[in-house]
Structure 1
């Protein structure tokens, strides 16, 4: 069975992954260009640098959560010298199935933080708690799955979620805070 070091080595460097994207590339780059880490967090980033962490990101380019979360992770990684490698979920279920959400869902992205020896130090994803509340609230208005309106209304909800993920800086800051909280324990 591959180790986390093996998965990291197998992963795609961030820039290569972004360049290969077909679905959410422009939105991911737009968030990346507009989001900045806080100057007030410099001491936190210095502490993180000392931990010499690396990150394995289980992702797919069609995922709206990944589109919002990854550029924020990229900014944190730049500030704290964390090297990131992307592992595509659908062609790496062996790894994905070790990090199921609620023990059953192959939800992404999942960020696995490892030290220089390849030991897992922290795991984050697929959503910050406040972002999950936002999504749950939007989805709460959907009719039952059997209802003929379900599919059309679900498309509208997904459109609203994607738009919010692309534009709402409050959601980005929830992701940032949640990631910092996880990394502080790494």
Structure 2
């Protein structure tokens, strides 16, 4: 399948959100609380009305998707960009074309396409600032062989998800990262 076909078979934002059963409430909290800054709007003004579309490879259970998807939706709304969600676990054929570091099925991955279905940019799974934050938190974990590793890792991810929902600086770090990738391809 080509990218336009993947886009067409994807879920609308409304369908994706309605089908969520893990992070729907958390994601809606970010959607309701986040607004793009004037600077962010100015940075992507040239993209408005260009007919861009985005395929968002995602899953409801993913903490990074919980943070990144609402930001993407606000960007899409601002520049009149259509978004379709494609569930990673049911669409490995597409996912495997966009592996992180050539090996990882990390999500979300955003594939920006033009009206002809040509790839314009790819973003994901995390903004650089968030990757640094996650790596910093992971460095505090004990070795995997440690009996406390699983509990401490679970607590670490829980703490990250709480930060994702509350820290507006993280929201804007994601927005700036996505916008930079989109505008770089102009």
TM-score for the superposition, normalised by structure 1: 0.96
2:183 aligns with 184
1:5 maps onto 2:28 in alignment: no
- How far apart in 1 are the matches of 2:72 and 2:79? 10
- How far apart in 2 are the matches of 1:145 and 1:46? 46
TM-score for the superposition, normalised by structure 2: 0.96
1:118 aligns with 117
2:157 aligns with 158
SS at match of 2:90: coil
SS at match of 1:55: strand
1:98 aligns with 97
Superposed displacement of residue 170, structure 1: 1.1
- How far apart in 2 are the matches of 1:151 and 1:136? 17
- Give the conservation status (yes or no) of the 8 Å contact 2:40–2:176: no
1:137 aligns with 136
Query: Over residues 28-57 of structure 1, what are the superposed CA-to-partner deviations in whole Å (9 max), with x where a residue is unaligned?
Result: 000010000123444434311243210000
1:33 aligns with 32
Query: Over residues 93-137 of structure 1, what are the superposed CA-to-partner deviations in whole Å (9 max), with x where a residue is unaligned?
Result: 000000000000000000000000000000000000000000110
- Give the conservation status (yes or no) of the 8 Å contact 2:54–2:82: yes
What is the aligned length?
A: 185
Query: Over residues 66-98 of structure 1, what are the superposed CA-to-partner deviations in whole Å (9 max), with x where a residue is unaligned?
Result: 000000010000000010000000000000000
Q: Which runs of 5 or more structure 2 residues have no equivalent in the other structure?
A: none
